[in-house]
Amino acid sequence: MNILQPEEYKERTESIPPFEVRVMSYRLGATYHCTVYNLDPGAVIVRSDGTTRNEAETKALTRAKGRLASAAHRLNED
């Protein structure tokens, strides 16, 4: 059985106003995986993968920005 270990782990904080998010990415085999999650309360917003780190992070951040814009709009309506 071949068990893959995460490699090239990278984590950073970004601002997608009005939210602060953490972007975590790593490589498993030939595929990069990226998770974007909200720092408060710590919920996963989106997961994505790609053949490069840039592709995985770009796809994840694009989807996260859309979801967070929708959430910010709902917060402003209240």
Residue 57 CA to residue 69 CA, distance in Å, equals: 18
**Residue-level pLDDT at 14:** 94
Which helix (H) or strand (E) element contains residue 49? strand 44-50
pTM of the model: 0.86
Q: Which two tokens stand for residue 35?
A: 């998770």
Q: What is the mean pLDDT of the chain?
A: 91
Phi, psi of 15 (to 5 degrees): -105, 125
**Residue-level pLDDT at 78:** 56
Residue 43 CA to residue 2 CA, distance in Å, equals: 31
**Residue-level pLDDT at 18:** 84
Distance in angstroms between the alpha carbons of the first and the last residue of the chain: 53
**Residue-level pLDDT at 41:** 80
Domain ranges of the chain: 7-77
Q: Which residue has the higher pLDDT, 35 or 71?
A: 35
